[in-house]
Amino acid sequence: MEDASLRRAAYLRGVEAEAWIADRLERQGWLVLDRNWRGGGGELDLVARRGEQLRFVEVKARLPEDESGSEAVDEGKQRRLVRAAEAWLQEHGSTGDMAFLVALVSMMPEVEWSVEWIDDAFDGG
């Protein structure tokens, strides 16, 4: 498969995984405030609130051959997420328990998907 086709397939997997995670969060009582919010030089896949908890959610769609979960959000990506979260907070304001939540979605063909949640995945400060 050529590069453009691979990128398009990865993009579509990501869109599908983000929708799946948003649905899972809502079923767990979270209110999804934003999807694919851009600002501060980055993008937040999802921003969700449940009570006093606010989560900036990074969704990673994983296929069997993809890198492990521990490598999914490197330091550069973390910096972009922190800047985006700071910009989101400046625009929307918020208080309470804030953290970054990484959702690693295992997208196995012909098998039910699963998710590994990594709450408070990295330090935002």
**Distances from the Cα of 1 to the Cα of 11, 15, 64, 80, angstroms:** 15, 20, 17, 30
pLDDT for 20 beyond 90: yes
Digit-coded pLDDT (tens) for 31-89: 999 999 999 999 999 999 999 999 999 999 887 666 666 567 888 889 999 999 999 99
Q: Which two tokens stand for residue 14?
A: 């990501």
% of the chain residues with pLDDT over 70: 91
Do the Cβ atoms of 59 and 103 come closer than 8 Å? Answer: yes
Walk me through the domains of the chain, giving residue ranges and CATH numbers.
3-119 (3.40.1350.10)
